[in-house]
Amino acid sequence: MADMIENLRIVLSLFYTVWLFSWGKKALGSAKLAILFAVIVVYLTFIQFPDLVWVPVIIFLVAVVGPTFFEKVKTFE
């Protein structure tokens, strides 16, 4: 089970690197700067603190599932 979680962390880190690269390429206008930016951010965030790799997954799930869940529960009405 621990190997599967570690492999999932690696895959998510690679996914975030590609995602940051594509965003950085549009925002910075240079592929070399985008690669540098993506590698530095992923290293500082997800390699040094591997538990943080789950934060974007949780935010994504809340953004996708959250609105329909709160409409069904009607907590805020």
**Residue 58: domain span:** 2-73
Whole-structure pTM value: 0.72
Domains contained in the chain, number: 1
- Nearest CA to 39 out of 16, 56, 17 is that of 17
- The predicted-structure confidence for 14-43, as pLDDT tens digits, reads as follows 998 999 999 999 999 999 999 999 999 999
Query: How far is Cα 46 from Cα 52, in angstroms, rounded to an integer?
Result: 6
Supply angle C-alpha 73, 63, 74, rounded to 5: 15
